[in-house]
Amino acid sequence: MKEEWSDKEDVAKNRKHFLDGLNIDPKTVVMPEIVHGAKILAAGKSDWGKTLKGADGLVTTLEGVFLMVTVADCFPIFIYDPVTQAVALAHAGWRGIIDKISLKLIEKLQGLGSDPNNLILGLGPGICQKHFVVKKDVLTLFQEEYPQAVLIRNHDGYIDLRKAMTRDFQKLGVSHHNIEVSNNCPLCHNGIYGSFRKEGVHAPASAAVIGMR
């Protein structure tokens, strides 16, 4: 679902329309604040309707608690554990990846009894490598930590964030058979998805949601 950031009334209407289509009561939705970090929090029914401060990801084992994030170039990460009946949802940009949001997600789920090998993981639409050209400081960080995700062309550095995250999750024990990656990019498919990098602060955001009934 896309939503305009610039009009709070329109955002509320769009979210309600989106959630109504999924038969989800907006009052049962919990969101992270999204600060481009790597903090993961557990969400419960006492958090219904709230935005949890300082977090970029949430986990829950409770039916009827629906987790939602918004993205516009960054990636939504969906995780489901069919054994422990846990779900997780996170917002991941380059800062979160460098800060090991993948590790924080897995550690939080392991604290709830999850075995990484059981996890089913999806990476939603996000900026592709050909559109993610970065400055030298960011390039250096990725060259040190994710050299296989870096492309240098005409003195510019391009980062494959999908590859970086996939590598992280596989190293943490998630089977490659259980990882599904969307190849859709908000810049390649602009008009379907909003792109902060292309459209600025008035870019439409996409909403992602996960939960159990």
**Does 28 map to a domain?**
yes
pLDDT band at 3 (very low <50, low <70, confident <90, very high): very low
**Does 144 map to a domain?**
no
Q: What is the CATH number of the domain that holds 66?
A: 3.60.140.10
Whole-angstrom distance, CA of residue 179 vs CA of residue 194: 24
Number of structural domains in the chain = 1
Compare 14 and 105 and report the one with higher pLDDT: 105
State the pLDDT at residue 95: 97
Is pLDDT above 80 for 1?
A: no
The answer to whether 187 and 131 are in contact (CB under 8 A) is yes
Range of the domain at 203: 2-128+162-210
Share of the chain above pLDDT 90, in %: 84
**DSSP for 1-17, written as a single string:** -EEESS-HHHHHHHHHH
Mean pLDDT throughout 19-30?
96
Q: How open is the CA angle 31-33-39, to the nearest 5 degrees?
A: 100
Compare 201 and 113 and report the one with higher pLDDT: 113
State the pLDDT at residue 4: 46
**Does 22 map to a domain?**
yes
Rg (CA), the chain: 17
Is pLDDT above 50 for 100?
A: yes
Q: Across all residues in the chain, what is the average pLDDT? A: 94
Q: Which of 13-22, 66-75, 78-87, 200-209 has the lowest mean pLDDT?
A: 200-209
State the pLDDT at residue 37: 96
**Does 138 map to a domain?**
no
Mean pLDDT throughout 41-63?
98
